[in-house]
Structure 1
Amino acid sequence: MSTWLIVGIIVLVLGLIVSNIMLLKYSAKLPMKKGSTTAKDDSDAPR
């Protein structure tokens, strides 16, 4: 394998890792919506 191919693969892998870390840091700051806490349950239904 040529040196440039190895360097290119390493750069691509490092770019993927860095971009995923940046995405995790960004998504951690986003507000989360609370879902519905009232679940329909068969035990609550009148008979």
Structure 2
Amino acid sequence: MGIGWILLIVALVVGLIAGNLLLLRNTKKMRTPPDFTPRKYDDDDDEWK
């Protein structure tokens, strides 16, 4: 296996990790509106087990 392939794989892995970190940082900055309430699901009444 050539050194070029190893460098390509390392560059792709580093790019993937950096992209995920940037995405996590940007989603942390997103704020929910003050009147936002999460949906409530009726899991207790669910007959499907």
Q: Can you give the 5+ residue segments of structure 1 that lack an aligned partner in the other structure? A: 41-47
RMSD between aligned residues: 2.3
Identity of aligned residues (%): 30
TM-score by length of 1: 0.69
Q: Which runs of 5+ in 2 are unaligned?
A: 43-49
> Where has structure 1 moved over 6 Å in runs of 4 or more?
37-40
Task: Compute the TM-score of the two structures, normalised by the length of structure 2.
Answer: 0.67
Give the number of the structure whose alpha-carbon radius of gyration is greater.
1
| CA displacement, residues 1-47 of structure 1 (integer Å, 9 cap, x when unaligned) | 0000000000000000000000000000001253247777xxxxxxx
Aligned length: 40
